[in-house]
């Protein structure tokens, strides 16, 4: 992506000027609208985990993106992958008429910080 190339270019530029900058990689986040559905992902999918030989567990949950009494509330289906040993979140995919990008933004931050499923739970 152009945005990734831009970040890599900044790292190169900083290091050429004597810095010690490190490119931390990308999560391959993506969001697209298909008809009335918002579709997106961040991190690793089940297929990618299988191809990489990574151990994972996954769960699918359906919920509203806003309180039910709000007229614009819409459903989102979310699939979450986590490492069963470390409980670290590996990836999230989401689809629905609701605000998918907002959920994926939060998920991307959790992934970047090495968060676990406990960090996403209301009670730990």
Ligand X SMILES: Cc1cc2nc3c(=O)[nH]c(=O)nc-3n(C[C@H](O)[C@H](O)[C@H](O)COP(=O)(O)OP(=O)(O)OC[C@H]3O[C@@H](n4cnc5c(N)ncnc54)[C@H](O)[C@@H]3O)c2cc1C
Interaction residues for ligand X, span 5-64 (CB under 6 A)? 5
Shortest Å, Cβ 6 to ligand X: 8
Pairwise CA distance, residues 72 & 87, whole Å: 34
C-beta of 4 vs 50, nearer to ligand X: 4
Q: Which segment (1-9, 64-72, 80-88, 99-107) binds ligand X by CB under 6 A?
A: 1-9
Shortest Å, Cβ 48 to ligand X: 20
Shortest Å, Cβ 8 to ligand X: 7
Pairwise CA distance, residues 16 & 108, whole Å: 29
DSSP, residue by residue, 57-119: EEEEEEEESS-TTSTT--EEEEEEEE-TTT-BEEEEEEEESS-HHHHHHHHHHHHHTT-BHHH
Q: Which segment (2-10, 32-40, 93-101, 113-121) binds ligand X by CB under 6 A?
A: 2-10
Shortest Å, Cβ 3 to ligand X: 5
**Short-list 124, 30, 51, 46, CA closest to 90:** 46
Residues forming contacts to ligand X in the complex (CB under 6 A) are: 1-3, 5
């Amino acid at each position: 992506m152009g945005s990734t190339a831009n970040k890599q270019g900044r790292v190169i530029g900083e290091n050429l000027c004597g810095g010690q900058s490190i490119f931390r990689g990308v999560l391959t986040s993506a969001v697209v609208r298909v008809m009335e559905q918002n579709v997106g992902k961040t991190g690793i999918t089940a297929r990618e985990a299988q191809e990489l030989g990574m151990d994972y567990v996954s769960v699918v949950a359906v919920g509203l993106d806003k309180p039910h009494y709000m007229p614009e509330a819409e459903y989102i289906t979310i699939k979450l992958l986590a490492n069963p040993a470390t409980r670290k979140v590996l990836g999230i995919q989401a689809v629905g008429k609701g605000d998918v990008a907002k959920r994926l933004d939060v998920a991307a931050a959790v992934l970047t910080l090495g968060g676990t499923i406990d960090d996403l739970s209301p009670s730990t």
